[in-house]
Amino acid sequence: MSRERRSPFEESLKDPLPGIKKQLREEYRDLPEEKVGEAAERALGEFADARVREFVPIMAWRRARERLRQAA
């Protein structure tokens, strides 16, 4: 039985947290990794009930980035 390969876009919709964390860690290298992870998880959680899932990763990334910018 062969597995169907998913595109990176499909994978980011399934679980956007790793990608969001990676992008934020690259931008906020001076902040502790735990703080970056918490901001990403919190922001993603705020969109848990979103009906349109396609925009959740970018909206969560923006929200987390805004919080980290204020903390820096």
HEC secondary structure over the chain: CCCCCCCHHHHHHHCCHHHHHHHHHHHCCCCCHHHHHHHHHHHHHHCCCCCCHHHHHHHHHHHHHHHHHHHC
pLDDT of residue 7: 63
Instruction: Tell me the pTM.
Output: 0.78
pLDDT greater than 70 at residue 25: yes
Does residue 40 register a pLDDT over 90? yes
